[in-house]
Amino acid sequence: MERILVIGANGQIGSELVDALAAKHGAENVVAADISHASLYGAKIYEVVDVLNTDRLAEIHDKYEITQVYQLAALLSATGEKAPLKAWTLNMDGLLNILELARIRGEAGKPLKVFWPSSIAAFGPNTEAVNTPQYTVMDPNTIYGISKLAGERLCEYYFQKYNVDVRSIRYPGIISYKSPPGGGTTDYAIAIFHSALKGETYSCFLEAQQSLPMIYMPDAIRATISLMEAPIENIKIRSSYNVSGMSFNPQELTSEITKNLPNFQVHYAPDSRQAIAASWPQSLNDEAAYQDWGWKAEIDLNALVTDMLKNVRVTN
């Protein structure tokens, strides 16, 4: 029986991952954890955990006899640029603390499988932008991206050196209706729906033609769990896998929305986030994920827009 700890459970990915894991393994076997004093999404088991507190991590691990950890706590791209030292400390030390916990428990005969998300932010301005391959130039220019690239190297190191079963996905922009934007450069693709449904003109912080790889949350959750469930011998890449759902730009997304809301308008006012987006891939080659563990996206742009317009709840 798996006993699963999700750190960062109040975040965009964590909140939905907890539900999916509870449905699969039973809510009594999934521990949601975050630095807030309560679960924002009604998790059955919730613990206050700071991923920088190694004693607390060990305590929770032993209390619940954890067999899998999803370490999702991080400061994202745009937020991280405002507090780079804080972002580096949380993003790097948080991962390192989990890898060390897995190493120590593994050496004691209690193996701990780890999931840690990387990101398209690990790429950079000299990366091949279209159909970005699994192995390519990686020269990130944000503290978030730098921490993700360093984290990928740590993951592979801990697997090769200590046999820690750590697995990772380079998430593209993730779109969801269940949680608000969380400080990422791709968050325009969530905020735009809120403006559209309120009948407001949306002020987009990216240029109209700035294409980026994206994925709808159900596909992102399915990819994450599929990777973690894959037989260990199938996992050939221990840095991080490219995974993508679709690619589009703000103009294409707007066009799809206006098929349903013809009066919706967008004003383009690129800010500092445009430079970040311009340094990232426009599309990803995720063939390695398909070959190794059968990944294939199911949700396209039309289905995403239809579902978002149906489910986004707006507040005035």
Residues annotated as catalytic (active site), given as ranges: 144
Instruction: List strand residue ranges (DSSP E) for the chain, in order.
Output: 4-7, 30-34, 45-48, 68-71, 113-115, 118-119, 166-167, 169-171, 173-175, 202-204, 212-216, 241-242, 246-248, 266-268
At which residue do the structure tokens 């400390």 appear? 89
Question: What is the SS3 string spanning 69-90?
Answer: EEECCCCCHHHHHHCHHHHHHH
| Per-residue b or e along 281-306, where b marks 16 or more CB atoms closer than 10 Å to that residue's CB | bbbbbbebbeebbebebebebeebbe
**Pairing mode, if any, of strands 45-48 and 68-71?**
unpaired
Helices 217-229 and 12-25, packing angle to 10 deg: 50
